[in-house]
Amino acid sequence: MTVWLPVALGRDIEPGAATGTTVDGSSVALWRDAGGTLHAWADRCPHRGMRLSFGFVRDDRLVCLYHGWQFDGDGACRHVPAHPRMEPPGSVRPTRYRAFERGGLVWVSSADPADDTELSRIPSVATPVRSVWIREGREQVVDRLRSFTEDFQDKGTVAVGILDGTAILAGIQVVDAQTTALHLIAPGAVPDDTVRALVRRIHDIRESATAFAPVVAS
């Protein structure tokens, strides 16, 4: 069985940006090229193992922060600054995952080919709300979300329900045994005020789980 995993809100990875996430326990670099295409690669430079999510994007290439090796959208190494006239060998290539965007969510699959039928049930038009990371396991986070939500349904990689009168869909990402991310969208076009209220609400839900150290002036 192939599972598409929600890992981010698409708007949070703007063109030219890179960040890190976790898929099936593995570190993954997410980056968007200048043309708007999103890429998900193993977060490890094939040269020296540096995290590629620390790197930077130049046009259609991800550049490793460590030694500046440049990789194009297919993962092919195109330039090695220390040897500018060298043709980089084709075997120097980061592991790539399949990435797909639907409903404002970024989905990644480590399987190839991935089964798309599950994704077709995600609304194609949605308003991104907010991603939060909660220091609890998946079951606790789902219970927590359920306690705030009406008509709640846990569907595996997503949960749906009504939060404060607005239909929501939360992509559920298991980061590790103690950390679960929720990537919240609202199907359809939702007014800004409603989105802000939902952002505040998902912050409340996160805070209800996390005993934060108090912030006081030192």
Partner 1 sequence: MTIPVLHDFPLDPRCYSVRLAASVLGYEHRIEPVDVIPGGAHLTGRYRELTPSGVLPVLETGTAVLVGTMAVLEHLAAGTDWAPTTPEWLTFASGPLEHVYACRDTALYTTDAVDTRAALTVLQTLDDHLALHADHDWFTADRPTVADLALYPAAALSRDIGIDHDTFPALRRWMRQVKHLPGFVEMPGIPVFP
Sign of CA pseudo-dihedral 198, 175, 208, 141: positive
For residues 180 and 138, is the Cβ–Cβ distance under 8 A? yes
Which range binds partner 1 by CB under 8 A, 80-88, 114-122, 143-151, 210-218? 210-218
Calculate the alpha carbon distances from 87 to 79, 83, 106, 175, 209 in Å.
Answer: 8, 9, 34, 38, 52
The residues in 139-198 that bind partner 1, with binding defined as CB under 8 A, are 181, 192, 195-196
At its nearest, how many Å lie between partner 1 and the CB of residue 88?
20
Kindly state the tokens that stand for 184: 């919240």
According to CB under 8 A, which one of 1, 82, 189, 217 is a site residue for partner 1?
217
Would you count residue 14 as binding partner 1 (CB under 8 A)? Answer: yes
According to CB under 8 A, which one of 67, 121, 155, 200 is a site residue for partner 1?
200
Query: Rounded to whole angstroms, how far apart are CA atoms 187 and 128?
Result: 9
At its nearest, how many Å lie between partner 1 and the CB of residue 147?
21
What number of chain residues touch partner 1 (CB under 8 A)?
30
Calculate the alpha carbon distances from 194 to 59, 100, 102, 105, 125 in Å.
Answer: 35, 27, 21, 19, 16
The residues in 47-66 that bind partner 1, with binding defined as CB under 8 A, are 53, 56, 63, 65
Query: Rounded to whole angstroms, how far apart are CA atoms 18 and 16?
Result: 7
Would you count residue 213 as binding partner 1 (CB under 8 A)? Answer: yes
Nearest 5°: the CA angle 84, 60, 86 is: 15
At its nearest, how many Å lie between partner 1 and the CB of residue 84?
18
Task: Annotate each residue in 101-140 with x if it binds partner 1 (CB under 8 A) or - if it does not, as one string.
Answer: -----------------------------xx-x-------
Contact positions vs partner 1 (CB under 8 A)? 8-9, 12, 14, 16-17, 19-21, 53, 56, 63, 65, 130-131, 133, 181, 192, 195-196, 199-200, 203, 212-218
